[in-house]
Structure 1
Amino acid sequence: MAEDAQARVDGDRTETGVNDGDRPTDEPAVEDVPADVREYARFSKIDGATYERANEFLRDRTYITAREWAMARLCADFRTETGVEMTKIGQNLPELVPFMTDTYSPQAVNQARSSFDGKVRKAGATFLYGAMCDFYTAEELDELMYEITEVAKFLLEVEGVELTVDEELDAEERISSVMREVRESSAALRHDELCCPNCGHEMDAKSAETDD
């Protein structure tokens, strides 16, 4: 198991042609670092954490890697009216994220962000299907949402986002409300599909197959 986990980490580190374990010996002088980079305080709560530890945590709880997490956040924070400052992100990566110890090319930054976007879409489709397919009871979905929300809140807190109790409760209620609507709508959809298209009377699944 440990070998498999390390193999995944090594794959993430070489995927973009960089090795996060090799810190450049010539670090940029303080005066060469842009002001907004010096002031950037995300991820400060895990200062000193290694890439492997951050990656292992994410691998156990999400689809994304530490690299994809960091790049997605940086691309959101360093977006201007003309686009994302990928060159600035890549060149100053060790100063921006404690567990990233090498610079990235703009292409590598964009690749990691694109990978993040793709995984979010796949995870979203998987979760929505699970919520709509009637495999889970309402109580099971509530428990699932609670676990998911706790992980998401922890990641936000690590990034430096401070959530009040009221904000947390409000977010949880809004999410639960949406999930109830999804469940009700999907139940109605399944009910409609088992109705006779001519008269609207309900048919059992066997009758529906026979009519087809």
Structure 2
Amino acid sequence: MTDDPAPTADFDDETAGTERETESTESNERPEQVTKSAESSESTDSTDSTGSTDSTDSTDSLDQDVADEVPEDVRKYERFKKMDGAQYDRVNSFLRERTYITAREWAIARLCADFRTETGVEMTKIGKNLPRLIPFMTDTYTPQAVNQARSSFEGKVKQSGATFLYGAMCGFFTAEELDEMMYEVTEVAKFLLEVEGVDLSVEDELEAEDRISRVMREVRKESAQLRSEEVECPECGHVHEP
């Protein structure tokens, strides 16, 4: 088989993004002027100190209130951390070149799987906290928008699955070509899982590839038999082998 496909390296470059720079303003503060009288200086120091403390306490209290509004499972969500700084357009371009899904559909499908409960998917929570959960998503979504993206993902998976299975069953590809194709698409799928945060060992990867290869060989064998059994002339009813 060939080496791992180039998409991994390309995607690493694309998702690197622009590093966020934090500038400190403390070094730009003017030194305290002490040319005034001691009484005036003490009064100024007291006012500045009090004001600074009140402002800090107020900011900390506001940040704490905002943090308290974020559900605990959202705060602890660890997927997609490898994509900090990634831009949506670049992630979307990578996916569109190699899959049928968009970055929006990919992210929301993953979240719908992770935030599924016994009664359904927590779409309100997903939409409200989308920018906190996915680094390359910048806007919140309504529950309806989350559901639409999930439905779009499901529809594309079904369509692409039907297309692939037809290609595998119709006899267009040889067994070797089909095996090579499965290797290539599996590498892309594994890369997406790794970006999400799934830790795949070499043993697990090899075992998964072997299972997939066995399944596809069985699909080709059964489909060949199916074609032989069902090739019938619509005019005379004669059955023949393709």
TM-score scaled by length of structure 2: 0.69
Does residue 95 (structure 1) correspond to residue 132 (structure 2)? The answer is yes
Does residue 173 (structure 1) correspond to residue 210 (structure 2)? The answer is yes
Counterpart in 2 of 1:138? 175
Counterpart in 2 of 1:17? none
Calculate the aligned-residue CA RMSD, in Å: 1.8
Q: Which amino acid aligns with 2:173?
A: Y
Counterpart in 1 of 2:187? 150
Deviations 1:108-167 (A, max 9, x none): 000000000000000000000000011111110011001100000000000000011111
Q: Distance in 2 between matches of 1:102 and 1:113?
A: 17
- Structure 2 residue matching 1:40: 3-state secondary structure: coil
> Which of 193, 198, 201 is the equivalent residue of 1:161?
198
Counterpart in 1 of 2:100? 63
Counterpart in 1 of 2:13? none
* TM superposition shift of 1:202: 6.6
Does residue 124 (structure 1) correspond to residue 161 (structure 2)? The answer is yes
Q: Which amino acid aligns with 1:146?
A: Y
The answer to whether the Cα contact below 8 Å between 2:128 and 2:140 also exists between their aligned partners in 1 is: yes
1:38-57 to structure 2, matched below 5 A, reads 38-57=75-94
Counterpart in 2 of 1:22? none
Deviations 1:47-74 (A, max 9, x none): 1101101100100000000000001000
1:179 to 1:92, Cα distance in 2 relative to 1, 3 A? same
* TM superposition shift of 1:193: 2.3
Q: Distance in 2 between matches of 1:86 and 1:44?
A: 21
* TM superposition shift of 1:194: 4.1
Percent identity reads 73
TM-score scaled by length of structure 1: 0.79
Q: Distance in 2 between matches of 1:156 and 1:31?
A: 30
1:91 to 1:183, Cα distance in 2 relative to 1, 3 A? same
Q: Distance in 1 between matches of 2:166 and 2:182?
A: 14
Q: Distance in 1 between matches of 2:240 and 2:169?
A: 20
- Structure 2 residue matching 1:161: 3-state secondary structure: coil
Q: Distance in 1 between matches of 2:205 and 2:147?
A: 31
Moved over 6 A (4+): none
Deviations 1:20-56 (A, max 9, x none): xxxxxxx982221111001001111011101101100
> Which of 94, 106, 114 is the equivalent residue of 1:77?
114
Q: Distance in 1 between matches of 2:108 and 2:241?
A: 50
Q: Which amino acid aligns with 1:127?
A: F
Q: Distance in 2 between matches of 1:148 and 1:133?
A: 19
Does residue 182 (structure 1) correspond to residue 233 (structure 2)? The answer is no
* TM superposition shift of 1:203: 3.2
- Structure 2 residue matching 1:29: 3-state secondary structure: helix
1:193 to 1:33, Cα distance in 2 relative to 1, 3 A? same
Q: Which amino acid aligns with 2:134?
A: V
- Structure 2 residue matching 1:136: 3-state secondary structure: coil
Question: Whose radius of gyration is greater, 1 or 2?
Answer: 2
Q: Distance in 1 between matches of 2:154 and 2:240?
A: 41
